[in-house]
Structure 1
């Protein structure tokens, strides 16, 4: 079986790494399976791309499509045009896409139009919020996918409710957690740890990137203010994209007057997760980070009104705080009063999801 694996954006890299390693292991054992890795170039920043390949021991891509930049439509079109050429020149039995980014959608459409089977890793997750580009990507991809690899029973039920047959759905677990568990012992203490005199459990990590939180300047200012006010003076570590840093400056927050807020450039996987593992809590609007905090047992408050990963709330350490700045203070008070739930680990989030995926692929 020949497979093309698609990667394009930061979350993809953590998901493809264990799958590639599992395929390589099967190849060494004599199984008839091989892969071709295609990097769409959706994320072209060094910290968002090459660094992750190096840290996670991902081989150099067989093809780089250079599809970064532009609007959503321009990026989708660019990736589709380039991947069509790639797949016609290098036909395979199956195209494997992961997650819910633009590359996922674009390459799934191209594959199906070239009569190539599609497998979707992390299929079936839903926020039921069509204002999120990712939700559209998930829905369209799952509507044309042939084989669905899911992270939870909940995701599988979403697919069944859409008429997907049981024999096309494979509950394998979470490949993001495969990568987390494999690399936990390799996490790297960043330089700012000593620079700021940090100690385990005595600081907060925050990440904010969704347009609804960041692009509406007054709302962003109100959210930041609420977080700062509720932090009890604990160090607030905020790895931030340069674009978001510019917005912070535009909204009139004087960083010199907030000694506990520390902005940094985006971090690599090993450094960032070192900070997450040792944090008192994480404040985020990311989906993937809620999965990692759940497994690491770190309290997580999500500044969103919905989540496509409800198991992180129902089982794990995550709670939906919402996007209303007025709800941040009570959540922070709950954290500092020691009333945050301890949480557990969802079923099959055990570091073996990629092995299960390859086992199922070999049966197809």
Structure 2
């Protein structure tokens, strides 16, 4: 059995790392020969959607996974340009050697593009983190989720809320597998390996006496005056405590023009996974507009203020330590006052966020394979010319 595992951006690798580890564990303990049909062969395919200079060999070593077997090197450009390059280059990979299953994760452009390509080539698609919805169609990620899930064969979900979303969209229960959260598999699997970043001692940080902040969404960073007001309000609302701000490249370009000079904000380059989680684990709280970080703070029981009006991970709010603050800069200080007074809620860990999601995923895939449900079906007809434009216009 050959499985393609797709990753297009840095957070995707955190989600696929435990899946790869579980595949290798099963292969090493099952006694199945490499050439056997039941052997779990996999190709880790990096689409190259996001180029990250920090994704060196050390990055993959930290996560305990091999460097990608194939890099499609799709590069930068508009989302449509990226989608087209990813699809054509992944198609070439499948032409050389077709796979039995394509696993996509999350909601980036690569997730949608590779799902479509695999499906057209007759390969079954499994979506890890399927069914999550923000309801916000201004988010490119929401469009990617909806497009991917409309053609996905099997869904590996993180919550009962995601299961309900899929059922409401007409997906049968026998295609939905509630397995938990592979991002949390990676988190729990690395808690004993966390690395203190050099700036921790350089800046004399103390546990529970600083904040971590990340910002990158257009609603927060594209309008310069709003971004300046937002950051000023955050800096003033933490009573002088230090704020560690690993700056997303998108945000850095804007900050350079603003000349923000709040003395308690410490700007850093993007950090490695083990260093970043170390900072989060020992922080007083996290301020972010990222979805994935809200999952990690929930499990680590760290208060989280999310600068968004909606979330595709509502369980981090209803069960976890996360609260939606919104994107209005004026809403930040009241939330920070509540936090600084010690009035933040205590959260719980959502069901099946126990570090075993990847075990459940691979068990399910093996069951599907042995039952014949992953047999390839006929690909869609790929005519060189789908219609003749001249004839089309003549009929109008």
The TM-score by the shorter chain falls in which range? over 0.9
Work out whether 1:263 is the aligned partner of 2:267: yes
CA drift at 1:273: 0.4
CA drift at 1:317: 0.4
- Residue 279 of structure 1, aligned match among 280, 283, 296: 283
Whole-Å separation in 2 of the counterparts to 1:34 and 1:259: 52
Secondary structure in structure 2 of the residue aligned to 1:46: coil
Return 195-204 or 26-35, whichever deviates more. Answer: 26-35
The residue number in structure 1 matching 2:100 is 93
Alpha-carbon RMSD: 1.1
CA contact (8 A) 1:9 1:49 kept: no
Over 3 Å counting, the alpha-carbon distance change for 1:56 and 1:10 in structure 2 is: same
Q: Which runs of 5+ in 1 are unaligned?
A: none
CA drift at 1:246: 2.8
CA drift at 1:241: 2.7
TM-score under structure 2 normalisation?
Answer: 0.89
The residue number in structure 2 matching 1:320 is 324
Greater gyration radius = 2
TM-score under structure 1 normalisation?
Answer: 0.97
In the TM superposition, 1:329-344 aligns within 5 A as: 329-344=333-348
In the TM superposition, 1:210-289 aligns within 5 A as: 210-253=217-260, 255=261, 258-289=262-293
CA contact (8 A) 2:105 2:127 kept: yes
Whole-Å separation in 1 of the counterparts to 2:49 and 2:256: 27
Work out whether 1:65 is the aligned partner of 2:60: no
Q: Which runs of 5+ in 2 are unaligned?
A: 33-37, 369-396
Secondary structure in structure 1 of the residue aligned to 2:54: helix
The residue number in structure 1 matching 2:157 is 150
CA contact (8 A) 1:10 1:52 kept: no
The residue number in structure 1 matching 2:133 is 126
Work out whether 1:10 is the aligned partner of 2:17: no
Secondary structure in structure 2 of the residue aligned to 1:225: helix
CA drift at 1:36: 1.2
CA contact (8 A) 2:216 2:250 kept: no
Secondary structure in structure 2 of the residue aligned to 1:105: helix
The residue number in structure 2 matching 1:19 is 19
Q: What whole-Å deviation, never above 9, does each CA across 1:19-62 have from its counterpart, x for those lacking one?
A: 00111111112352221111111122222565432210111222
Work out whether 1:189 is the aligned partner of 2:196: yes
CA drift at 1:216: 1.2
Secondary structure in structure 1 of the residue aligned to 2:134: coil
The residue number in structure 1 matching 2:350 is 346
Whole-Å separation in 1 of the counterparts to 2:304 and 2:58: 26
CA contact (8 A) 1:13 1:52 kept: no
Whole-Å separation in 1 of the counterparts to 2:113 and 2:82: 9
Whole-Å separation in 2 of the counterparts to 1:282 and 1:344: 17
CA drift at 1:244: 1.8
CA contact (8 A) 2:214 2:248 kept: no
Whole-Å separation in 1 of the counterparts to 2:200 and 2:171: 48
CA drift at 1:10: 1.0
The residue number in structure 2 matching 1:44 is 51
